[in-house]
Structure 1
Amino acid sequence: MTVFVPDPTLDTTFASAPGGSRARAEVPEAERWNLADIFPSWEAWKAAFDDLEGRVRGYATRKGTLASGPGALLEALRESDTMGQLAYKVWYFASLAHDEDQRDNAVGARRQQVQLLFAQWRQATAWFNPELLAVPLDTLRAWMDADAGLAVYRFMIENLFRQQEHVLDERGEHLLSLAAQLTRVPDDAYEALSTADMRFPTIELSTGEQVQVTYPRYRALLATNRVQADRARAFEAHHGAFEASINTYAALYNGVLQRDWYQARARGYATTLEAALHGDNIPVAVVENLIASARANVGAFQRYEKLRRRALKLDTYHLYDGSIPLVDFREHYPYEQVVAWIVESVAPLGPTYQQRLADGFARRWVDIYENDGKRSGAYSAPVYGVHPYVLMNYNDTLDAAFTLAHEMGHSMHTVLSHERQPFVYSDYTIFVAEVPSTLSEALLLDYRLAHATDPLERIVLLQHAIDGITGTFFTQVMFADWELQAHRLVEAGEPVTADGLSALYDQTLRAYHGDAIDYDALSRVTWARIPHFFGSPYYVYQYATCYATSARLLVGLRDGDPAVREATIARYLELLAAGGSDYPMALLQQAGIDLAEPSTVGAVATLLDTLVDQLEEALGTRGLL
């Protein structure tokens, strides 16, 4: 068994995040991710790009060969895998470099080159699925039974036949492939408008400090500034920048909705939701029941917001009041200190897992702090054949600490999936993706609750546990609710306007928050700053289902019986290593999770009620209510 040994070179000075944004050239190498692990230079990238481009052009020569025998089919599948592995590196080298500073047009042009090549790739291979589907499935099964190499692709092939009714003929697939580059336009335009071209205003706080309300600074201000007027000013300035272009945002989102409806109809789906879920074999009822269950259980959510209003001694309570700690516990969480905590927190998953996570931090997987032009937010990029890369805009807040744990959970999922699965199954589905990220956050929370000595910090951590439920479950379901309603507008042939989208968002906000908050004029336009709506339609509901899954797994990890804990760990690591080798619902069932059981989702609301009781008692004991 591998024994975890902390890195002796780990910086224990726990330096704070930089005070302001910097030019990319000013960021020390140790604080940047190491893209040289993908390619040592742009020249090497160009050589790989040219190789991929040549393979894409050459793939068309395989057209008409698939029915000739198992050898020809296997060669075609393996060449497709080779192109896919190369594409990961070619795309992410350009894309990650672009996200370092999105104002760099030269890098942005290279990124667009890859997007154009991918569109050509889809066009060059549009014949593949219709031609494969023309071969009788019984014939293919006989070939797979006789050929171990071809048998690797069994799940992929049988899944394609399951979706056969939604695969078009060669001409239809070719026409859809020609539109592929267009489908990215609303998302790319949203990124440009909301990030590269966004000019967030600067506000003056009650202290006289001047602050530009960029994404990370806005989030940090809401999480740390205890003056409600300052939070209100930041909210108005930040969302006012979106309201100034609200008609443009609505036009872009209409483009997303129309694209999704076009693609759904082109493939013969009754709704956009059915089209989004069918690939992973997820019943539409999973989302519909999730929304219905959340709407039926908002009482605990609203009770928490009313408790916050009392604890914060506020006459009014707004969306911008939801992140501030309930107690005056001023603590910064320096990056290196949090790294050490995260590594220690995953000890329940075993020393091998723990060591590999530590290695990721040591080997510069993470781009740590904000710099001028850098993409906002955070993500984990699964670069096949190299290692994951994590983008952060770390700002020393508790929220940033848990975001780092979240993204490293994704990254470990990538590591285990890529090393255990053949390329064709290495990419896990979104439906499973948020399980390790939310579980990693829960483990960090457990670790801090066990080690925090300050009673006020314990209240902050208990609040964070509740915020994890309200933010990851109820808020994400609310987003999914609005998103589904918006898609149904286009399905019903209704107009999509800025006023209509904002009114729909206002109605949805009120359905979940009720009378627990006071509504501001700009609350109704906050949909415009949610990137998932534009870049990942029908994504956010999976945060909620994955939260329910990770909560159920935690029960096993916390069990007093060592045998139960070991069995839970084994099932969980197998889930991560399974990648996309089966349907996500089946993979979760193998891990002991059944989302068809109402108790799996309903238990979240019960847990929230219990935690709110505990927080109310803790605050009352200290005379803070």
Structure 2
Amino acid sequence: MIDLSFPTYFDDDVEGARPRTRDRAQIDARYKWDLNDIYGDWSAWEADMRTIREEMDRFVELRGQLAQGAEKVLQAYRLQDTIGMISYKLYRYPQLQYDLDQRDNEVQARLQEVQQLFAEYGSRAAWFTPELLEIEQSTMEQWLEEEAELSPYRFPILEAYRAQEHVLDEGGEKILALGSRFRSAPAEIYRSLTTADVSFNTVTLSDGDEVVVSYGEYSNLLHTRRDQDDRRKAFEAMYSIFEAKRNTFASLYNSICQRDWAQAQSRNYSSTAEAALDDDNVPVSVLETLIEAAREGAEPLRRYHRLRKEVLGLKEYHLYDGSIPLLESDEVYTYDGAREVLIESVAPLGERYQELLGEALGGGWIDVYETEGKRSGAYSAGVYGVHPYMLLNYTDTLDDVFTLTHELGHTLHTVLSCEAQPFATSSYTIFVAEVASTTNEALLLDHLLKQTEDPARRAFLLQQAISGIAGTFYSQALFADYELEAHRMAERGEPMTAERLDALYMEKMKAYYGDALTIDELYKVTWARIPHFFNSPYYVYQYATCYASSAKIVAGLLSEDQAERQATQARYLELLSSGGNDHPMNQLQKAGVDLRDADTVRAVTRRMDELVGMLEAELQRLS
């Protein structure tokens, strides 16, 4: 094991480190959301609830009138815009507050109120798409040419015609809409089990400290505790929570897979994957190619873990050893200290991008630290007409800095899309969403590497880059591999018990990690602690495809050729400003990325191998 330490990088004043309290009242306001930007109080929220009901009634009154001409179609789409813009605020106001304290039943009730309203409206508005598609496409295209004010709706209108074979008649659409309020039930139950009703375990560490292993603390322990037994205790404390309820989680996951298969069949899709990917017009072959390339290219991942085992001097190397830095360090990456570094790191994207990033970090947009009852993880949530809100659980690690720039990528993507696009096409797809976040991460890494020739620091940063590929590409491809096969089990009518899901997940782990590490039996329940499986099926593969896309874009942004840098920057900012005005595969092609080419994906595994070689060289210099 290499024993080395070096000073704090972002901030010499460790007094800026994270608060040691989880009491929200004791956290400074500049580290918390300002939800007054949405509504000043609940009375304003209630007033908009009344307004949106009136607008919904106006929309429903248009039933049977679309065929009268372009003016009626325009009226309907404008009403949809109004309803959509208010919906963002109505939903986010209670949802964000609930995520700050998922024990708050009053806020949860208000969130359910707005969800029920949306579900009711969905069934009342089910007539719209079937009635629109009764108009001949040639007639609609003529209206689009003649009525200039319909132009913002060209893409969504033509998308409806593209997906026409999967649209049911009015009765069928109404039945599906009536069921929408129940389709989110498994995810809501899962969130309650894993957040509101969870009881975290307490462990006694090697130094005598007693620690409650919450989600944020679990990550912190794996990243900071040098004693392997401490990491083992943290792992067992966290995973035993899911192991104890694995049968309940299996029932929930089975209901999700059965729901997705029923929905796919009802809309005339041959598989759940086809149904999920068709919204973005992405062929299933893109998902299959990703999984195949990741499995075939897993040797660099194994090489990295073998190297870690050797450097850490461990007799046995486990997956819970995969986050601890290879080098000893006393670095504290404070939130305040990260600000200027992050702004400097995105210089390849231009001054305006840097200014917007600074505004996002200025206060009110980000809820930074873990507090009692707060949702785990991190996200960026858009609120049209206001600004995005970012949730963090920041613990002063380098990984947290990369999480911060990751979520800022989403935030700036939202800001630029809402600024450049009309509401109808302002929302970008998940398929391109992670390009913005992983591009920011790559630019941060490049910036930090350029600041030093010190082999210790370079090794530390190279490890971060490699861990990024391991987590964002390989792990997400493994998740996608598992998720696809689990859904195919449902499609084949096979039983989905906890034992079968455990076995399936272990098979995937062995396929990717091989004999490079010891796979503890308890890891078989990992499927139960991946929120995306329960909240948003067929989401995770897009992390990996987006990583491949961003790698191509970053290569252009950092090119030695000035003309290529400028052209890449222009194409990339156009991508961030394009919202949902085209199919995402087309948007990426305009940005210079073709995911139909398997070599685009294989380039990531080759890059992984290259970075591991660089890390080996820096460690050799240290030796």
The amino acid across from 1:357 in the alignment is L
In structure 1, distance between residues paired with 2:371 and 2:547: 31
Separation in 2, partners of 1:456, 1:483: 39
Corresponding residue number in structure 2 for 1:589 = 589
CA–CA separation in structure 1 for the residues paired with 2:523 and 2:363: 42
- Is 1:553 aligned with 2:530? no
Q: Give the structure 2 partner of residue 501 of structure 1.
A: 501
Q: Which moved more, 1:21-30 or 1:232-241?
A: 21-30
Output the CA distance in 2 between the equivalents of 1:325 and 1:361. 27
Q: Is the 8 A contact 2:18 2:334 kept in 1?
A: no
Name 1:180's counterpart in structure 2.
180
Counterpart AA for 1:551: A
Q: Which has the larger displacement, 358-367 or 224-233?
A: 358-367
Q: Pairwise mapping of residues 32-111 of structure 1 onto structure 2 (< 5 A)?
A: 32-111=32-111
Runs of 5+ consecutive residues of structure 1 not aligned to the other structure: 1-9
TM-score where L is the length of structure 2: 0.97
Whether 1:301 aligns to 2:301 is yes
Verify: 1:482 aligned to 2:482, yes or no: yes
Q: Report how far residue 444 of structure 1 moved.
A: 1.0
For 1:536, give the aligned amino acid: S
Structure 2 match to 1:170: 170
For residue 414 of structure 1, what is the amino acid of its counterpart? Answer: T
- TM-score, scaled relative to structure 1: 0.97
Spell out, residue by residue over 1:354-389, the C-alpha distance to the aligned partner (whole angstroms, 9 max, x if none). Answer: 011101111421011111000100000011000111
Q: Distance in 2 between matches of 1:197 and 1:98?
A: 14
What letter is aligned with 1:312?
Answer: L
Task: Give the aligned residue type for 2:334.
Answer: P
Alignment of 1:219-618 (within 5 A): 219-452=219-452, 454-618=454-618
Change (3 A) 1:489 1:21: farther
Residues 1:365 and 1:302: Cα distance change in structure 2 (over 3 Å): same
Taking the aligned partners of 2:33 and 2:507, their CA distance within structure 1 comes to 42
Deviation sequence 1:91-143 (CA, Å, 0-9, x none): 11111111111111111111111110110111111000000000101111111
How far apart are 1:27 and its partner, in Å? 2.2
Is this contact kept in 2: 1:14–1:335, CA < 8 A?
A: no
Distance 1:180 1:412, change over 3 A: same
Contact 1:406 1:441 in 2 (8 A): yes
Aligned 8 A contact 2:32 2:363 in 1:
no
Indicate conservation of the 8 Å contact 1:21/1:372, yes or no. no
Q: Which residue of 2 is the match for residue 125 of structure 1?
A: 125
Check the 8 A contact 2:33/2:389 in 1, yes or no: yes
Tell me the distance in 2 between the aligned counterparts of 1:250 and 1:241.
Answer: 14
Shift of 1:567: 0.4
Q: How big is each residue's C-alpha offset from its partner over 1:518-551, in whole Å with a ceiling of 9 and x where there is no partner? A: 0212010111111011011001111111101111
Change (3 A) 1:356 1:466: same
- Counterpart contact for 2:458–2:618, Cα < 8 Å: no
**Residues 163, 208 of structure 1: CA spacing in aligned structure 2 closer, same or farther, 3 A cutoff?**
same
Determine if contact 2:456/2:622 at 8 Å carries over to the other structure: no
| CA offset digits 1:478-531 (Å, max 9, x no partner) | 000000010001000000001110110001100000001102120101111110
* Aligned residue identity for 2:113: Q
For 1:45 and 1:489, locate their aligned partners in 2 and report how far apart those are by CA, in whole Å: 44
Contact 1:571 1:591 in 2 (8 A): yes
Q: Secondary structure at the match of 1:153?
A: helix
AA matched with 1:259: R
Instruction: Say which SS state the counterpart of residue 390 (structure 1) adopts.
Output: strand
Judging changes above 3 Å, is the alpha-carbon distance between structure 1 residues 240 and 274 closer, same or farther for their aligned structure 2 residues? Answer: same
* Greater Cα shift, 197-206 or 13-22: 13-22
Deviation at 1:13, TM superposition (A): 5.5
* Partner Cα distance (1:569, 1:12) in 2: 34
Q: Once the two structures are superposed, what CA deviation does each residue of 1:32-68 show, in whole Å capped at 9, x if it has no partner?
A: 1111111111111111122112222332211001001
Q: 2-side partners of 1:439 and 1:15: how far apart? A: 31
Q: CA deviation at 1:23?
A: 2.5
Cα distance in 2, alignment partners of residues 225 and 50 from structure 1: 53
2:231/2:321 contact within 8 Å kept? yes
CA apart distance, 1:11? 11
Distance 1:14 1:70, change over 3 A: farther
| 1:15 Cα deviation from its structure 2 partner | 4.0
Q: Where does the alignment leave 5 or more consecutive residues of structure 2 unmatched?
A: 1-9
Q: Distance in 2 between matches of 1:339 and 1:535?
A: 31
- TM superposition shift of 1:609: 0.8
What one-letter code is carried by the residue in structure 1 that aligns with 2:355?
A: Q
Distance in 1, Cα, partners of 2:502 & 2:265? 26
- Any conservation in 1 of the 2:16–2:336 contact (CA below 8 Å)? no
Deviation, 1:340, is 1.5
Contact 1:388 1:415 in 2 (8 A): yes
Q: Secondary structure at the match of 1:380?
A: strand
SS in 2 for 1:98: helix
